[in-house]
Amino acid sequence: MQSSLKLVDCIIEVHDARIPLSGRNPLFQETLGLKPHVLVLNKMDLADLKEQQKIIQHLEGEGLKNVVFTNCLQGENVKQIIPTVTGLVGSSCRYHRGESLEYCAMVIGIPNVGKSSLINALRRQHLRKGKATRVGGEPGITRAVMSRIQVCERPLMFLLDTPGVLAPRIESVEMGLKLALCGTVLDHLVGEETLADYLLYTLNRHQLFGYVRHYGLGGACDDIASVLKQVAVRLGKTQKVKVLTGTGDVNVIQPNYPAAARDFLQTFRRGLLGPVMLDRDVLQRSPVAEP
Ligand SMILES: Nc1nc2c(ncn2[C@@H]2O[C@H](COP(=O)(O)OP(=O)(O)O)[C@@H](O)[C@H]2O)c(=O)[nH]1
Ligand SMILES: [Mg+2]
């Protein structure tokens, strides 16, 4: 990735719009410094963007001036990216070159934020061609084969068709949990039940009670065991087990907690529990510094 970055005129960094302030790998910023950079906050359909201006100000404070919110599944705002890139490359004096020269951009980001989906969406929008790269639900499925895809005629612009995969920067346990909720870290590394517990805590704190409706629960609850038990019963994920007691065998219904936790997480990730802003606490904690 380091060597291909040298050939690139612009970096398109993709990140998850639900965690606009968490988990980005700052490494390349030092490495690249002067290269034009666009931050694409993808999965906007899953994000609560009521405080979009605050997010943009916050990112500006970190020196990120070119931010585009997208939904790569619907192609929303994807059209804004290439004009932003050409504008940046055109106005950066280091890259003032003859008109005939072509541009090359590279997509980078942490796993599962939608890098491949963005490459596909750009290709669809600009050349009306179908799938360019594989898209996968598990982090790290993209293979390392380097070729270029044309994404624009005028100016002639190419995109490396293999995104650069960065490791997320995990500064705290909570940041790690947010990253895991967004699917950027393999679930089993955290444990699905731990993650489900953090999800329930977050939904309650943000007063997002869609889960109560979705699973037909009696009401909001902050006890994960109780919620998962009800979810398991709802989904029919239970099993009868014989328990030996002093007075003989008794059949008890045992909920399948891991299956319930998995369903809870999947339902959340599909957006069925409503949009979220997992970095709301960061936005509230640190008021935007005056320039
Ligand atoms: N809801 C939603 N899902 C998306 C969006 N973009 C990508 N995805 C999904 O996110 C998952 C990871 O996408 P992928 O492009 O493979 O991510 P990569 O690992 O960064 O290349 C896939 O299941 C995609 O369908 C989006 O804008 N909205
Ligand atoms: Mg990929």
* Cα–Cα distance measured from residue 213 to residue 33, given in angstroms and rounded to the nearest whole number: 48
Q: Ligand 2: distance of its center to the CA of 12 in Å?
A: 14
* 35 among annotated binding-site residues: no
Ligand 1 proximity of 46 Cβ (cutoff 6 Å): yes
Share of the chain above pLDDT 90, in %: 62
Ligand 1 proximity of 137 Cβ (cutoff 6 Å): yes
Q: Ligand 1: distance of its center to the CA of 8 in Å?
A: 24
- Expressed in angstroms, the distance from the first to the final Cα of the chain is 34
DSSP class of residue 267?
A: H
Q: Ligand 2: distance of its center to the CA of 59 in Å?
A: 25
Tens-digit pLDDT profile for residues 190-232: 899 999 999 999 999 999 999 999 999 999 999 999 999 999 9
Q: What is the pLDDT of residue 227?
A: 98
Ligand 1 proximity of 42 Cβ (cutoff 6 Å): yes
Q: What is the pLDDT of residue 188?
A: 86
State the virtual CA torsion across 68, 70, 72, 78 in degrees, nearest 10. Answer: -50
Kindly report which listed range (228-237, 241-250, 266-275) carries the lowest average pLDDT score.
Answer: 241-250
Nearest residue CA, atom 22 of ligand 1?
Answer: 137
Q: Ligand 2: distance of its center to the CA of 116 in Å?
A: 4
Ligand nearest to the CA of 14: 1
Say if CB 124 and CB 137 are below 8 A apart. no
Q: Ligand 1: distance of its center to the CA of 75 in Å?
A: 12
pTM of the shown model: 0.88
Nearest residue CA, atom 3 of ligand 1?
Answer: 43
* Cα–Cα distance measured from residue 214 to residue 157, given in angstroms and rounded to the nearest whole number: 45
* 164 among annotated binding-site residues: yes
119-135 average pLDDT score? 66
112-138 average pLDDT score? 72
Over 60: is that where the pLDDT of 87 sits? yes
Q: pLDDT confidence of 124, banded at 50, 70, 90?
A: confident
* Cα–Cα distance measured from residue 195 to residue 193, given in angstroms and rounded to the nearest whole number: 5
* Cα–Cα distance measured from residue 186 to residue 253, given in angstroms and rounded to the nearest whole number: 30
Three-state DSSP state, 148:
strand
Cα separations in angstroms, 71 against 3, 29, 52, 288: 30, 25, 15, 26
**Tokens standing for residue 131:** 């799938």
Ligand 1 proximity of 135 Cβ (cutoff 6 Å): yes
Say if CB 148 and CB 159 are below 8 A apart. yes
State the virtual CA torsion across 27, 30, 32, 34 in degrees, nearest 10. Answer: 140
Ligand 1 proximity of 45 Cβ (cutoff 6 Å): yes
Q: What is the pLDDT of residue 128?
A: 60
Say if CB 44 and CB 71 are below 8 A apart. yes
